[in-house]
A and B are shown apart, each in its own frame.
Chain A
């Protein structure tokens, strides 16, 4: 059975902060830091936004573009590393909010930054086997970066939702390939407010090794080469890593520019490849071929070979905000506001 994306929707918080402003507070050259990481601003969630609200907003935007009955959604998975609850799913709230409950299977996924694409793969299996008519896969995060840590310059918020089905497919998921090893490059233990990372170990032996292996494995499985694709989306913890990787693999700047959002909205973790894919779907034409590889620390990658179909012309893409609109509809804030919004100011008990 052919399985693919039937609709999609995204959400990016409106607030932004610039590396220069973060550096100003910590006494470091934030501008140089941003330039080095290829990050010019990052999104900041407002105090009433979390992975649940971002997931709901993205899923609602997804449904606005098509005419399916939410009751036909048989599965919903939310991938994130910042689920508001340790115990109690994000997904059940999202399922209720989009009126897909109660006859639906729901679970929260966690695999660092690639839990959203793992959710897409799970939905592919469920739809492909005929177990459900539609599955919803969401990748969203309000990622954490400790104050003063290098991560604070990139960790941001956003997410995207995909409706996976076998009818009226706007983009066929031709094949998927994963590559996973036990590589502890980045982690956060239960109860810890901020993640830890292995510094330079997160580069070559983690991101580059897995991304390269997964990209090559996906192309081998799909029988494709870089020039077969109009678009490529790579996991983007910063702007530098995916740019370097693309070059190493033989992809051009033109192929990656549409899906490379991190320079403007920061690293949205589980939202990164889903948002990049959404940006591509915003402008893709029938016949376009898309290559996507997500990375999750710990560590693993999910690769996808995707072909856009004629159905995309019938999807009401204009009925929900485009990535471009959400990227441009922004408001820059200072570090004090950022600290307040991100809950970094110690408050009186019960105070907000």
Chain B
């Protein structure tokens, strides 16, 4: 296996991008990454596109061919592949690009992720998100994606005697970080009361516990490490990539207050890199709901079970804390255009490890971790990045 570097990153603003179509979003993000990498289009040997549900959001399948076509790289007849794993679509696409370069098959690969979620009515958008869960055995019987996470939250609060405020504080912290990110959907700090008083979604989760519906795209350019310095002075290395699965339906698990797939993916990552969790400076985790971030932090091993909420309240997960979590604002504040999310996490880590994060810069960041989740922990993808 060859060492793989990220030499270019790009991202659109996340939010309600009423004036941009899916293809424009994809092209904007891709071109930004290509310009950043300083590569010529004929240097690009493959394209992967993370996308969850363009078929249902914009009635367009075959989106990898679409992006390749409209970004102009189709004329070089390179392979363009769409990757789908619900919320982890972008992260799995990153993993595919990593395999291509690490295996020696290709030297330069572009990985993008995009979703256009606001062209359908809100209720339809929510229903499409539900399809990340088990349609036959969960959704048909009335469960929705937020309801499943609400059950996780209820059980978590019960088992660990965690106050509701601890869960809500995740949203406050992520909005605080999002306020420092010019690409974030919500660049505004909020108070704890705002979360607690927002509209009820599924007890105990309220609107401000949930990531929004977003439009957006993100992209990276990967290159074999031995050639990376030809293009950039600050390549960021992908130290390892791991992926794990679990049951699709939540009710088939022995516990719902922990995602076994996150634990398994983290074990693989630690084994492959030898980097201990205590050495990690920052992490982008999948906070599609506030409770999800707490589970992630505990399953990764940053905090003992039931303690991540308290740690959040104590400021241990904010910039300058023990580990800076979701410096981009996370899914909650940066936004969650599903297919783009896993790629945007990598964009944030690279920005931080290059030392280009401005006001939200984590000082002396050497190791950055990304955790992306599809469904209720059914697919978990993790990447560990480091300064080259």
Q: Which residues of A contact B (CB under 8 A)?
A: 198-201, 204-205
B208 CB to closest chain A CB, in angstroms?
Answer: 15
Residue contact B16 to A199, C-beta cutoff 8 Å: no
Q: 0/1 per residue, B85-115, Cβ < 8 Å to A?
A: 0000000000000000000000000000000
Given contacts A201-B18, A205-B18, 10 further A-B contacts (CB under 8 A): A198-B121, A199-B121, A199-B122, A200-B16, A200-B118, A200-B122, A201-B118, A204-B16, A204-B18, A205-B19
Interface of A (DSSP majority class): helix
- Residues of B at under 8 Å CB distance from A? 16, 18-19, 118, 121-122
Contacts of A199 in B (CB 8 A): 121-122
Instruction: Give the most central of B18, B19, B122: most A CB within 10 Å.
Output: B18
A-B contact pairs, 12 of them (CB 8 A): A198-B121, A199-B121, A199-B122, A200-B16, A200-B118, A200-B122, A201-B18, A201-B118, A204-B16, A204-B18, A205-B18, A205-B19
Min CB distance B26 to A, Å, is 20
- The residue on A at minimum CB distance from B125 is A199
A205 to B122, CA, bound (A): 16
Q: Which residues of A contact B18 (CB under 8 A)?
A: 201, 204-205
Nearest Cβ on chain B to A254's Cβ, whole angstroms:
28
Complex: chain B residue closest to A205, CB-CB: B18
CA distance A200 to B15 in the complex (A): 12
Q: Which residues of A contact B121 (CB under 8 A)?
A: 198-199
User: Measured between alpha carbons, how far is A205 from B20 in the docked complex, in Å?
Assistant: 12
Q: Give 9 nearest A-B pairs by CB, closest first.
A: A205-B18, A199-B122, A199-B121, A204-B18, A200-B16, A201-B18, A204-B16, A200-B122, A201-B118
Which residues of the partner chain A approach B118 to less than 8 Å between Cβ atoms? 200-201
- The complex places the Cα of A145 from the Cα of B122 at a distance, in Å, of 18
Shortest Cβ distance from A212 into chain B, in angstroms? 14
How far, in angstroms, from A187 to B16 measured CA to CA in the complex? 21
Shortest beta-carbon distance from B282 to chain A in Å: 32
Q: Bound state CA distance, A200 and B18, in angstroms? A: 10
B216 to chain A, nearest CB (A): 16
A200 to B185, CA, bound (A): 15
* Complex Cα–Cα for A201 and B16 (A): 9
Taken together as a complex, chains A and B put the C-alpha atoms of A201 and B119 apart, in Å, by: 9
CA–CA, A19 and B69, complex, Å: 51
Q: How far is the CA of A47 from the CA of B157 in the complex (A)?
A: 53
Minimal beta-carbon separation of B356 from chain A (angstroms): 30
Contacts of A201 in B (CB 8 A): 18, 118
The residues of B that contact A205 with a CB separation of less than 8 Å are: 18-19
CA distance A205 to B118 in the complex (A): 12
Expressed in whole angstroms, the Cα–Cα distance for A65 and B118 within the complex equals 50
Minimum CB–CB distance from B301 to chain A (whole Å) comes to 39
By beta carbon, the residue of chain B nearest A198 is: B121
In the complex, what residue of chain A is closest to B124 when comparing beta carbons? A199
How far apart are the CA atoms of A331 and B74 in the complex, in Å?
Answer: 67
The CA-CA distance from A205 to B16 in the complex, in Å, is: 10
A204 and B18 CA atoms in complex are apart in Å by 9
Q: Across the interface, which residues of B come within 8 angstroms of A200, CB to CB?
A: 16, 118, 122
- A204: chain B residues at CB < 8 Å are 16, 18
Q: Which residues does chain A contribute within 8 Å of B122, judged by CB atoms?
A: 199-200
Question: In the complex, what's the smallest C-beta–C-beta distance from B95 to chain A, in angstroms?
Answer: 34
Q: How far is the CA of A204 from the CA of B19 in the complex (A)?
A: 11
Once bound together, how far apart are the Cα atoms of A204 and B16, in whole Å? Answer: 9
Question: Within the assembled complex, what's the spacing in Å between the Cα atoms of A205 and B18?
Answer: 7
CA distance A161 to B16 in the complex (A): 39
Shortest CB-to-CB span from B335 to chain A, Å, is 14
- Give Cα A204–Cα B215 distance, bound, in whole angstroms: 15
Q: Which residues of A contact B19 (CB under 8 A)?
A: 205
Q: Closest CB of chain B to A276's CB: distance in Å?
A: 28
Q: Considering the complex, give the chain B residue whose CB is closest to the CB of A199.
A: B122
Query: In the complex the two chains form, what is the Cα distance from A199 to B18 in whole Å?
Result: 13
Report Cα–Cα, A198/B18, bound state, in Å.
12
Closest A-chain residue to B122, C-beta based? A199
A199 to B122, CA, bound (A): 7
Least Cβ–Cβ distance between B40 and chain A, in angstroms: 36
When distances are taken between beta carbons in the complex, the residues of chain B under 8 Å from A198 are 121
Q: In the complex, what residue of chain B is closest to A32 when comparing beta carbons?
A: B199
Determine the distance from Cα of A281 to Cα of B18 in the docked complex, in whole angstroms.
38
Nearest CB on A from B62, distance (A): 26
